[in-house]
Amino acid sequence: MQPPAGKLNLREISVLLRGESETISVWSAGWNARRFALHVGVIILGAGIYGAAMGWWRDPQQAMFVAVKFPLIILLTALGNALINGMFAPLLGLNIPFRQSFSAVVMSFAKND
């Protein structure tokens, strides 16, 4: 049963973190802006908490800086990987649009967070 269009389905986070390949392959085949925003949110929250914990040993101000910087590094790395995948896909004979590549990379980074 699908949730209403305006509702956020938090079960999607557990599916993502468990790495259910059948569901994730369906997600990467189609574009859903709400789901993509959820995955980006998981990256920001997870990497922000991890960065704050790593910066806290030095200083609370350092924790704040790392909590902001680390999610940005993760998201910029995901963007770079998606760009490279988008450039190499046609050279390798694959029909993968940039949006699908970016979505798959963001899902993989969200799962590893």
Task: Give backbone dihedrals phi and psi of 90, rounded to 5 degrees, phi first.
Answer: -65, -35
Q: Per residue of the chain (113 residues), what is the pLDDT tens digit?
A: 444 544 556 777 777 777 777 887 788 777 788 888 888 998 999 999 999 999 998 999 999 999 999 999 999 999 999 999 888 888 998 888 888 888 888 888 887 65
Q: Is 5 helix (H, G, I), strand (E, B) or coil?
A: coil
Determine if the pTM surpasses 0.75. yes
Give per-residue burial for 34-65: e unless 16+ CB within 10 Å, then b: ebbebbbebbbebbbebbbeebeeeeeeebee
Gap between the Cα atoms of 78 and 47, Å rounded? 13
